[in-house]
Amino acid sequence: MIQNWIIAGATGGLGSAIARELADHGCSLSVLATEKSREVLEQNARDLGIRSGEEVKTKVFDALKTDDWSALIDEMRPNPKEPFGVIWAAGVLSPQKDLQNDLTRAQHDHQLNYVAAMQFLEAAVAQMKPLDEGHVVALGSPAGDRGRRSNYFYGASKAALHTYIEGLQHRLATSAIRVTLVKPGPTRTRMTAGIQKPLMSDPKQQAKRIVQAIRDGKPLIYTPPIWWPVMCIVRHLPRFIFYRLDF
């Protein structure tokens, strides 16, 4: 497995759990988060450093105002001779109703969930090319598998990410750069705080499964795995049934 990782969105529920899991495996980390999470990022970095025994690089960034993604990655990556991996774990889940009523906000969400992710990953791949080694990981969502009235704005951004990753995988199929798309089911994090649903997963367990998938170099995983058959059914439900369901 790749030993050096850059994690964007490293203070989120899943992002921080993945960072910890990688640190517990002794990986060297560079972590990125937004300005409002600056203190959390610094404190997390200290914890990660104790876990991994390696210095942790931190940086505050604004995904919507970054022009030079290549420079950002250049700053966070280890020296040019060492291969590295990147994980896009940033994202925002706003209530569907709010987005329907405020398209500027919908635009903002899409820019973060998809456009910024695409720019970050694309810039990373460009820097991996000279060594022809590396690993690209993005957090998608089962919500992107079929549009539903309860969250199709969020779903659409994740569907775009899915298609982008598919294309990237096709392009890199003959290289040694691995690409992994993770689709986590509902996880108990701040993103979902206050939503009380059964079957919420624990972020730590999710992170363990995700890191295992990264180690195995899997192209696509649903976590927990039950979401693969569930979404397979949801995707193929005939419309006359699907429209009668309220979810």
Partner 1 sequence: MTSWHQETIAGWGRSRVSVTHAGDPRRVEELPDYVAERKHLVARGLGRSYGDASLNTGQAVVRMESVDRAVEFDREQGRIVCEAGMSLDDLITITLPSGWFPAVTPGTRYVSVGGCIASDVHGKNHHVAGTFSQHVNWVELLTADGSIVRCSAEDNADLFHATAGGMGLTGIIVRACLQLQKVDSSYLMVRRERTLTLQDTMRALVEGDREWDATVAWLDGVAPETRMGRGEVILGRHIGRDELPERLAYNPFRSLDEPLVDLPVDMPFSMVHRSVVRAFNQFRFSRIQEGDSFENVRQFYYPLDVAQGWNRLYGPHGFHQYQFVIGDDDAESLIGDLLYRFHRSGLVASLVVLKRFGAESGWLSFPKPGWTLAVDTPSNMRLFELLEEFDERIVADGGRIYLAKDSRLAPDRFRRMYPEYANKWLDVKRKYDPECRFSSDLSRRLRIDDDVLGDGA
- Residue 101's Cβ-count burial label (10 Å; 0-12, 13-18, 19+) is exposed
Binding site for partner 1 (CB under 8 A): 11, 20, 24, 39-40, 43-44, 46-47, 50-51, 190, 193-194, 196, 198-199, 201-202, 205, 208
Which residue's CB is nearer to partner 1, number 26 or number 80? 26
Which residue's CB is nearer to partner 1, number 40 or number 115? 40
Tell me how far, at minimum, the Cβ of 184 lies from partner 1, in Å. Answer: 14
Tell me how far, at minimum, the Cβ of 122 lies from partner 1, in Å. Answer: 31
Which residue's CB is nearer to partner 1, number 56 or number 181? 56
Strand order in the sheet with 85-88: 57-60, 28-33, 4-8, 85-88, 133-139, 176-184, 220-223
Tell me how far, at minimum, the Cβ of 153 lies from partner 1, in Å. Answer: 22
Which residue's CB is nearer to partner 1, number 47 or number 122? 47
Query: What are the φ and ψ backbone dihedral angles of 164, each rounded to 5 degrees?
Result: -60, -45
Pairing label, strands 57-60, 28-33: parallel
142 contact partners, CB below 8 Å, separation of at least 6: 183, 185, 222, 227, 230, 231
Tell me how far, at minimum, the Cβ of 159 lies from partner 1, in Å. Answer: 27
Which residue's CB is nearer to partner 1, number 166 or number 204? 204
Compute the chain's Rg from CA coordinates. Answer: 18
Q: Which two tokens stand for residue 46?
A: 């200290």
Tell me how far, at minimum, the Cβ of 97 lies from partner 1, in Å. Answer: 18
Q: Which two tokens stand for residue 91?
A: 């994202």
Per-residue DSSP letter, 202: P
